[in-house]
């Protein structure tokens, strides 16, 4: 029944495109050079044109997986991060945990990310870790009220970052809040930065990348 199956909302289903992307990341790793920079996360990362927007970083690897959740990223961290032996890693995780298949609390998401950070630091103690906030969504298109499923809202997306800072006390982690970079002075997401209400377009990525570069 594939994508039309009715399944337990607490059981994420690994889809064909996710498995294919995982294999791409594994193959990429085999030809990677250690000491680079890994960007690890969901579709926001996978669709992030690193050559275009992060040209200030010479050696970089996109390990984003569209549609992925924090718990699956935790299980894939060896292939997706550790085997690259990076000198720095950017983690961009959370929004898919609020969708219609998995509905995790901000604390549950933060706990998964905390464990990822601990695994990275234990195995690669010299690796710099940057934890990037979720971006806002256009609630009228991708909020839970509009979708009539899931629990995604901008208030909850902001809560995830607050949980990060509350339960991840490690000095070796740098927190990057990109949320304001995509909002107007009223704190509302700027519609022209979005492709579909959830994913950002080229203009959105420009502002997103500028917010990240401030920490380099």
Number of structural domains found in the chain: 1
This prediction's pTM: 0.91
For residue 116, the domain's CATH number is 3.40.50.1110
- Digit-by-digit pLDDT tens for the chain (216 residues) are 345 655 555 566 778 999 999 999 999 999 999 999 999 999 999 999 999 999 999 999 999 999 899 999 999 999 999 999 999 999 999 888 876 656 688 999 999 999 999 999 999 999 999 999 999 988 775 444 554 454 568 889 999 999 999 999 999 999 999 999 999 999 999 999 999 888 999 999 999 999 999 998
Domain extent, residue 15, equals 2-213
DSSP character string of 4-73: G----TTS----HHHHHHHHHHHHHHHT--TT-EEEEESHHHHT--HHHH-TTSSSEEEEE-TT--HHHH
């Amino acid at each position: 029944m594939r994508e039309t199956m009715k399944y337990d909302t607490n059981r994420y289903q690994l889809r064909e495109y996710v498995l294919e992307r995982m294999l791409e990341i594994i193959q990429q790793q085999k030809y990677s050079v250690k000491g680079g920079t890994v960007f690890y996360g969901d579709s926001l990362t996978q669709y992030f044109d690193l050559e275009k927007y992060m040209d200030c970083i010479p050696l970089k690897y996109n390990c984003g997986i569209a549609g992925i959740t924090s718990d699956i990223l935790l299980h894939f961290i060896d292939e997706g991060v550790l085997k690259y032996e990076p000198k720095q890693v950017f983690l961009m995780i959370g929004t898919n945990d609020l969708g219609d298949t998995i509905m995790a609390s901000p604390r549950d998401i933060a706990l998964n990310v905390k464990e990822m950070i601990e695994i990275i630091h234990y195995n690669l103690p010299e690796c710099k870790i940057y934890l990037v906030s979720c971006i806002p969504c256009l609630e009228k298109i991708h909020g839970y009220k509009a979708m009539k499923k899931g629990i995604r809202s901008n208030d909850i997306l902001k809560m995830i970052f607050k949980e990060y800072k509350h339960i991840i006390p490690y000095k070796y982690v740098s927190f990057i809040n990109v949320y304001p970079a995509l909002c107007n002075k009223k704190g509302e997401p700027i519609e022209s930065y979005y492709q579909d209400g959830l994913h950002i377009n080229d203009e959105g990525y420009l502002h997103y990348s500028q917010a990240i570069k401030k920490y380099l």
